[in-house]
Every structure is written in structure tokens, then in C-alpha cells.
Amino acid sequence: MGRAARTFVGVACVVTLGACQTGGADEGAVGFKVADAHGWIVETEPETAFTDGLEVLYPTEPVSFTITDVRLLPADSGLELVGASILGPDDRSLGATQWAASYPPAPEDVSATTDALPDAIGYRVDAADIADLMQNPNDADGNPRMDGYELLIGIEAPEAGKFERTSIAVDYESSRGTGTLAIDAGLVVCSGVPKATDFDCES
């Protein structure tokens, strides 16, 4: 199957990830659903961190795992990852919040239902919690629970110009060994310059 075309969308809209496909995991690793290839563009100021909250980890089987690293690719994009947090299924009221103007974000800016925003690196997802969500998709009131684990990625451009990320890599350890979830998520950052189109910055 060929790679889906990357679609760029505007900034500061709230989205819930929809149709997904299985993929992005190394051999012997945990199964995940990942969104089709996608991307967006944002205007920001140099040395001003913002939050990318568009990506959600969707385990498809009850296997415990611990996140060991989150990386922006390519490694020489010039963008700096200043931190990464995570919100579980019961820690937020929306599937995903695409953008927040700071990092770390205020909990209300990412629809968090908790004041705690745990670090993504070192975060453990237990098999029992995955199984519980699969078996009990609704809460006690019969309302659908949020699915998956939302990454809140702090990103900063160190200077003025155009910067581009093509994907995100999430490294983890499980009882099956180590693995990497590759997320085909493009991002164009117009730092100190306005965007020219939905795909590019002014030069």
C-alpha cells in the first residue's frame, strides 16, 4: 500500500483523530494504530516554545510498555524538542488538542482534566489499563471514554526562518523488547516570519 498524501491543516484548531490504520511499529514490538500521513503549519516567534498535541498513541493489544524517548525527525531539522508530556484516556476531555501557545501548556489549554502533566519519557502504560479501556469503552455514566495516550510535545525554533519536521519517533521498551513507533506527522514552523501558503513560509 502506498503512503497516503500528507495533508496540511491550519493551526489552533481542536481535532479528534479519526480513521486510523495499523502500522509504524518495529518487528516484535507493541501493536499501535497510527493516523494516516498528515501535517500542519504554524507561525511562532524565535525561542518561544509551543505545544504540539495532535499525536495520540493507540495501543491495539494489552501489552505493557514504557516510553524511553520522543524524537523529532529529521534530527537536523533545527527544531528543538524542549519537553514531552502525556495525557491518558481519563486525563482529558477531548481526543487531542492540536496546538497550545506555550510549553508546558496550561491544563485548560489542552483540555486536561488533571493538573498533573506527566513526563512522556519514562511513562509506563500498563497492560491492565489497555485491557480495561478495550473492555469498558464507556464511563460510569455511559459516556464514551477518551481513547489512547495523547503526546504533548514542546517545540521551539532557535532563530528566525523556516523549519520543517517530517515525522516523530517514539521509542519504548516492553516485555517483547525495544521498539519504535514512527508517526508520519509533518510540521512547518514559520519562526519570526509569516506563512505564505498552507505549505510554506515567506522568505
At residue 122, what is the residue type? G
Q: Are residues 168 and 53 in contact, defined by beta-carbon separation less than 8 angstroms?
A: no
How confident is the model over 67-80, as pLDDT tens digits?
999 999 999 999 99
- Smallest CA-to-CA distance from 73 within 160, 186, 158, 154 is with 186
Total-model pTM:
0.86
**In the chain, what percentage of residues exceed pLDDT 90?**
72
Architecture per CATH, 7-191: Sandwich (2.60)
Q: Stretch 74-102: mean pLDDT, rounded?
A: 96
Place of cell 515567506: 202
Residues in the chain: 203
pLDDT tens per residue, range 2-50: 333 343 444 533 232 333 334 445 555 789 987 899 999 999 999 999 9
